[in-house]
Structure formats: structure tokens, C-alpha cells
């Protein structure tokens, strides 16, 4: 027998068993992170069978039963496109770079408003058209007056930031709805 005949060459591009296990663990971990999101975001995002599995998992408190349910959720997540789900999870993850960038953007807007930069109001209005221009100006005036009087704690300063943040989240929710439509189209294809 020839040595070359004994050697079988596998030209298979499929992932190794270890890689498949890592992928399954990653999907299970993604399911656990989905449990932490508010129901409103998750319900719009996922197909009904995955949402039902997540709801059931929230009710299970025993260790092994919960672990089996999370494995089932991971199995169901294999059927959907996870890139868009990961983008949504990163948006809500305070440690993600996307979240940090948005937070810094809101802080820069607030600082520019307090320094009475004339262009920032139009920039904010162009990016968040639903924002109440008059209320934004009132909050800005109150925060500037508070800063000038050195009042502590800076209540108006925080209110201005929270107001900006609420519209940034509202804009993200609209983007999430677009993600939901994209995910549903991908699942139907």
C-alpha cells in the first residue's frame, strides 16, 4: 500500500468542533444579555418563538432548568441574523464604544449650549427634529443661570443633560425599529 493512499486530505472549510462550541456559547451569552434589556425593545426585535423562550427563562429560577432554557434560547438564536442583534446590544451596553461615543456627544452638546454657542441649537434640532426648541432653550437658560450663581447641586445642569439624553434614546428607538424590520426581512428570506 502506498503512503499517499493512506493520507486523506480534508479540504473542508467548515469550522472546527471547538469553534462551533464557542459560537454556541456566544449565542447563549447573547440570550442572557437579551434578558437584561427592557421588554419593549426585545419584543419588537425578536420573532415570537424566541420571545416566548426568553419570557419562559425569566420565570425559571432553578439553576439547571434555567441553564437548559438558556441553551434552548441559544439554539433558537442560531436561526436569526445576529449581527444586528449585537449592534442593538452594544447600543445598550455601557461599556461599548458606541454607547460611550453617544454619551460624550451629549456632554459636548450640553457644554456648547452652556457656553451659548449659536450653532449647537440648530445642530441638535437637525439631528433630533422632534425636540421642543423652546423647552431646550428654557433648560439652557436655567442651567446657565444656575452655573453663574454657583448653585450646588447642579439640578438644571442635570435636567438639560437628561432632556438631551431622552431624545437621543428616542432616536435610537426609531433606529431599533428599523433594525427590527431588517431582521424580519432577513428571517423571511
More confident: 67 or 12: 67
CA distance 142 to 29: 44
The model's pTM is 0.50
As a whole number, the mean pLDDT across the chain is 80
Show the domains of the chain with their CATH numbers.
Answer: 16-80 (1.10.60.30), 97-188 (1.10.60.30)
Tell me how far apart the 2 most distant CA atoms of the chain are, in Å: 94
At what angle are helices 63-77 and 17-36 packed, to 10 degrees? 110
Nearest in space to 89 (alpha carbons), one of 23, 26, 7, 17? 26
pLDDT of res. 5: 58
More confident: 58 or 94: 58
Confidence label for 176 from pLDDT (cuts 50, 70 and 90):
very low
Amino acid at each position: 500500500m502506498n503512503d499517499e493512499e493512506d493520507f486523506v486530505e480534508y479540504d473542508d472549510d467548515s469550522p472546527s468542533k471547538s469553534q462551533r462550541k464557542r459560537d454556541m456559547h456566544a449565542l447563549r451569552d447573547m440570550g442572557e444579555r437579551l434578558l437584561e434589556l427592557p421588554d419593549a425593545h426585545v419584543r419588537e426585535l425578536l420573532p415570537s418563538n424566541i420571545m416566548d423562550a426568553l419570557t419562559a427563562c425569566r420565570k425559571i429560577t432553578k439553576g439547571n432548568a434555567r441553564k437548559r432554557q438558556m441553551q434552548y434560547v441559544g439554539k433558537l438564536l442560531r436561526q436569526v441574523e445576529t449581527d444586528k442583534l449585537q449592534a442593538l446590544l452594544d447600543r445598550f451596553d455601557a461599556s461599548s464604544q458606541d454607547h460611550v461615543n453617544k454619551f460624550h456627544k451629549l456632554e459636548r452638546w450640553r457644554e456648547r449650549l452652556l457656553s451659548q454657542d449659536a450653532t449647537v441649537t440648530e445642530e441638535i434640532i437637525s439631528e433630533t427634529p422632534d425636540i421642543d426648541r423652546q423647552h431646550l432653550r428654557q433648560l439652557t437658560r436655567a442651567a446657565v443661570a444656575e452655573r453663574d450663581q454657583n448653585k450646588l447641586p447642579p439640578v438644571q445642569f442635570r435636567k438639560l443633560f437628561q432632556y438631551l439624553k431622552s431624545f437621543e434614546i428616542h432616536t435610537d428607538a426609531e433606529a431599533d425599529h428599523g433594525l427590527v424590520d431588517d431582521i424580519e426581512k432577513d428571517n423571511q428570506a
